[in-house]
Amino acid sequence: MRLVITIVLLALLHFALGPLLEGWFAKPHLLLCAALLAARQLRPTPAVIVGFVLGLLQDAMALSHFGLATILLVVMTYLASQTRDLFLGEEPLFIGTYLVVGTWLYETIGYLLMGAGANPIFYLLLQVPLDSLATAAVGYLVLPLTRTR
């Protein structure tokens, strides 16, 4: 139940604070954070369902590229749920690295699939790492809420 509350809270904050965070130099991706934290706790099928629902929510607000967030979140949650079997434990350093790498992959693949913009080096080497670190920071803050112990 704690995991569901955390996912819903992050999803609500994503849409409520999204316009306010647009101008920030490092904006956390709250839906992705919720999906990755949920995938770490769930088996592949429920993780993919969470990714699908959160992706549909993201795509419902998208002006273009409908379906891209859904596909990316489904793939990311499936792969993230597989890390449960590969990496045991909930060490804070691992969770931070997990969130940074997951966000970096999501943002980079999404950027490349949408078509690279005017300045891809700035985006991929500065903006995406900053967004990844911001997402990991949010993940650290809500991590105690997701623990079942």
Distance, in Å, from the CA atom of 50 to the CA atom of 38, rounded to the nearest integer, reads: 8
Average pLDDT over residues 24-46: 90
- When the pLDDT of each residue in the chain is averaged and rounded to a whole number, the result is 87
Per-residue pLDDT for 2 more than 70?
yes
Average pLDDT over residues 62-90: 85
Structure tokens at 19: 């316009």
Distance, in Å, from the CA atom of 17 to the CA atom of 149, rounded to the nearest integer, reads: 30
- pLDDT computed for residue 114 by the predictor: 84
Exposed, middle or buried, 123 (CB in 10 Å: 0-12/13-18/19+)? middle
Q: Which amino acid is at 24?
A: W
| Domains of the chain with CATH codes | 2-146 (1.10.1760)
The pTM of this model reads 0.88
